[in-house]
C-alpha cells in the first residue's frame, strides 16, 4: 500500500510516499481502507519531533491521525462491525497512522459514518471536532445565557467550536484575521474580533468561558476576558509559562480522548447540517507535502483533507 512515512524526524523533506505492507488488525482492532484523512497540526508536530518526549513512538512511522473509510477486516473480539461498513475516527499516536491506503485503528476510537455525511467531511471530525466538543460541551457545559470567546475561530478546531457553541445556545465571540471575519460570522459567531487590529483583551470582556486554541501570550492575555468565577479552557498548543495571573477563575487544560460516543454526537450534528465540516483544500496522497505545508502555514481556513481511496 502507499503510505506517507518518516524514517527520521525533520521538516517536509523527511516525509516519503513509500510502499508499505498492509497492516493486520489485532484483538480489538479494525483494518480500515482509508478514503479520506484530514491533516492536523499534531501530524507535522509528530513529524518534526517536538512531541517525541510525550509520544516516543518507534521509527519508521506512517503519519496521520484522522481517517474515514470502510472496514476491510476486523481483529478478534470485534463483533459489531460488518466488512465494508463506512467508519471514521482516529488512529493511536503511538503507532502507524492513517495517511496511507490502509490503517489499523482501535475499535474504541471509531464510529459508523452516517448516511448523508461524505467521507472527506467525516475525516475532518475526529481530532478537531472532539477537541472543540470536550472543552465547550463537557468541561464548560455551555448553554443559553453564557458568553464564550473562541480563539482562532477560522481554524480547524475553531470552525467546529464556533458552530458547536452556537448550537449549544451560547453568545459566541471569535477571534480571526481580517480575511476571516465575515466567515466566522457566517459560521455562527455573534461577534468577530480582528486579532490583527483589535486588542481582544480590551473588547471581549465578562466572558463566562474563553476557549484558548493558541497558548503562549494569547493564553496570558485571555485572563482579562473572563468574569470572576468563569473558566479558561485550553488545548495543548504554544507553551504557557509562569503561574496563572488570577486565582478567581478556573483554568483547565483539556484532555482530548476520541471515543465512539463523541464521534457519533458530532456525526449526528454534521449529518443534520447543524455543525458543517469546513473543508478549504483537498489534496491527493501524492501531494501530501503541499497539504502539510498548508496546515503548517498557521493560517488554514477550516480543514485540509487528503483524498485517498
> In the complex, which residues of this chain contact ligand NAP (CB under 6 A)?
40-42, 127-128, 131, 151-152, 154-158, 175-177, 180, 195, 213-214, 218, 235-237, 256, 295, 298-301
Write the CB contacts of 184 (distance below 8 Å, at least 6 apart in sequence): 153, 154, 158, 162, 174, 176, 192
CB of 32 to ligand NAP, least distance (A): 21
- Which CB atom, from 86 or from 151, has the smaller least distance to ligand NAP? 151
Burial of 306 (0-12, 13-18, 19+ CB in 10 A): buried
What is the bridge-based pairing of β-strands 2-6 and 15-19? antiparallel
Distance, CA of 192 to CA of 213 (rounded, Å): 16
Residues forming a β-bridge with 160: none
- Which CB atom, from 69 or from 155, has the smaller least distance to ligand NAP? 155
- Which CB atom, from 157 or from 266, has the smaller least distance to ligand NAP? 157
CB of 189 to ligand NAP, least distance (A): 12
CB of 294 to ligand NAP, least distance (A): 9
Alpha helices in the chain (DSSP H): 41-48, 119-122, 130-133, 156-167, 181-187, 200-203, 216-222, 260-272, 288-296
CB of 42 to ligand NAP, least distance (A): 5
**E-strand spans in the chain?**
2-6, 15-19, 29-39, 61-62, 66-74, 86-90, 102-106, 110-112, 147-150, 171-176, 191-194, 207-212, 226-234, 250-253, 279-284, 303-307
CB of 250 to ligand NAP, least distance (A): 17
CB of 173 to ligand NAP, least distance (A): 12
Distance, CA of 221 to CA of 178 (rounded, Å): 20
- Which CB atom, from 199 or from 248, has the smaller least distance to ligand NAP? 199
- Which CB atom, from 73 or from 124, has the smaller least distance to ligand NAP? 124
Distance, CA of 107 to CA of 204 (rounded, Å): 42
The number of angstroms, rounded, from the C-alpha of 255 to the middle of its chain's C-alpha atoms is 13
- Which CB atom, from 23 or from 302, has the smaller least distance to ligand NAP? 302
CB of 125 to ligand NAP, least distance (A): 12
- Which CB atom, from 157 or from 162, has the smaller least distance to ligand NAP? 157
Amino acid at each position: 500500500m502507499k503510505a506517507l512515512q518518516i524514517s527520521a524526524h525533520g521538516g517536509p523533506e523527511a516525509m516519503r510516499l513509500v510502499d508499505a505492507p498492509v497492516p493486520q488488525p489485532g484483538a480489538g482492532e479494525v483494518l480500515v481502507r482509508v478514503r479520506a484523512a484530514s491533516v492536523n497540526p499534531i501530524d507535522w508536530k509528530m513529524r518534526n519531533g517536538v512531541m517525541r518526549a510525550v509520544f516516543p513512538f518507534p521509527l519508521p512511522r506512517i503519519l496521520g491521525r484522522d481517517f474515514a473509510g470502510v472496514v476491510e477486516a476486523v481483529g478478534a473480539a470485534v463483533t459489531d462491525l460488518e466488512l465494508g461498513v463506512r467508519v471514521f475516527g482516529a488512529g493511536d499516536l503511538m503507532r502507524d497512522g492513517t495517511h496511507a491506503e490502509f490503517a489499523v485503528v482501535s475499535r474504541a476510537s471509531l464510529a459508523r459514518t452516517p448516511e448523508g455525511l461524505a467521507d472527506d467531511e467525516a475525516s475532518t471530525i475526529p481530532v478537531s471536532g472532539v477537541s472543540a466538543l470536550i472543552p465547550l460541551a463537557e468541561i464548560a457545559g455551555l448553554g443559553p445565557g453564557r458568553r464564550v470567546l473562541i480563539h482562532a475561530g477560522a481554524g480547524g478546531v475553531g470552525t467546529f467550536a464556533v458552530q458547536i457553541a452556537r448550537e449549544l445556545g451560547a453568545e459566541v465571540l471569535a477571534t480571526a484575521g481580517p480575511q476571516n471575519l465575515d466567515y466566522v460570522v457566517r459560521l455562527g459567531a455573534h461577534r468577530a474580533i480582528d486579532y490583527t487590529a483589535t486588542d481582544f483583551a480590551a473588547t471581549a470582556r465578562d466572558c463566562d468561558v474563553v476557549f484558548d486554541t493558541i497558548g503562549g501570550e494569547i493564553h496570558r492575555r485571555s485572563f482579562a476576558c473572563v468574569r470572576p468565577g468563569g473558566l479558561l479552557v485550553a488545548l495543548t498548543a504554544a507553551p504557557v509559562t509562569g503561574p496563572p495571573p488570577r486565582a478567581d477563575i478556573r483554568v483547565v487544560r483539556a484532555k482530548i480522548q476520541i471515543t465512539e460516543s463523541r464521534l457519533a454526537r458530532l456525526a449526528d450534528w454534521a449529518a443534520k447540517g447543524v455543525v458543517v465540516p469546513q473543508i478549504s483544500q483537498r489534496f491527493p496522497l501524492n501531494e501530501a507535502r503541499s497539504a502539510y505545508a498548508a496546515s503548517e502555514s498557521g493560517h488554514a481556513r477550516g480543514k485540509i483533507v487528503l483524498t485517498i481511496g
